[in-house]
Amino acid sequence: MSEEKAVPVIQVAAGLICHEGRYLIARRKFGSHLGGLWEFPGGKREAGETLEDCLRRELREELSITVTAPILFQVIRHEYADQTVELHFFRCAIVEGQAKPVDCAEVRWIAPEEFGQFAFPPADRPVLEALQRRQKDSSAE
């Protein structure tokens, strides 16, 4: 019998914050897991915390912003060599504060057609494609 090592599943909440057609992205600190890559801001869910509360807490801690009630957009499960992440992407908007890089390397507002100019983790690819499709569909109307 082979013994399979249980790979931990990490639940993450990420915010799809859009303003005037541009999305807020944050660059992970160098030296961290996936350091230097860009992502939609958010973080790991703590025990006893809802994903929505997790997102609000992470955005307050990382970017010093308060957001509207998060609305689930997409869930993606991705397996890395050492862990599995379950990413819960939520749509929300800033209601208080201005995004600044408190616990990340930098932040930017970019349009969906610019996504290809930034290096994102592989797990984010499906949501990037969904947002680009959504933009194309709305501009075709």
Phi, psi of 128 (to 5 degrees): -60, -45
Q: Locate the domains of the chain by residue range.
A: 15-139
Q: What share of the chain has pLDDT > 70, as a percent?
A: 91
Q: Which fold has domain 15-139?
A: Nucleoside Triphosphate Pyrophosphohydrolase (3.90.79)
Share of the chain above pLDDT 90, in %: 73
CA angle at 24 for the pair 43 and 31, rounded to the nearest 5°:
50
Q: Do the Cβ atoms of 70 and 55 come closer than 8 Å?
A: yes
Separation of alpha carbons 21 and 92, rounded Å: 13
Q: At 140, is the pLDDT very low, low, confident or very high (cuts 50, 70, 90)?
A: low
Q: pLDDT (tens digit, 9 = 90+) per residue, 87-103?
A: 999 999 999 999 999 98
136 exposed, middle or buried (CB, 10 Å; 0-12, 13-18, 19+)?
Answer: exposed
Q: Are 127 and 74 in contact (CB under 8 A)?
A: yes
Encode pLDDT of 95-130 as tens digits: 999 999 998 999 999 999 999 999 999 889 999 999
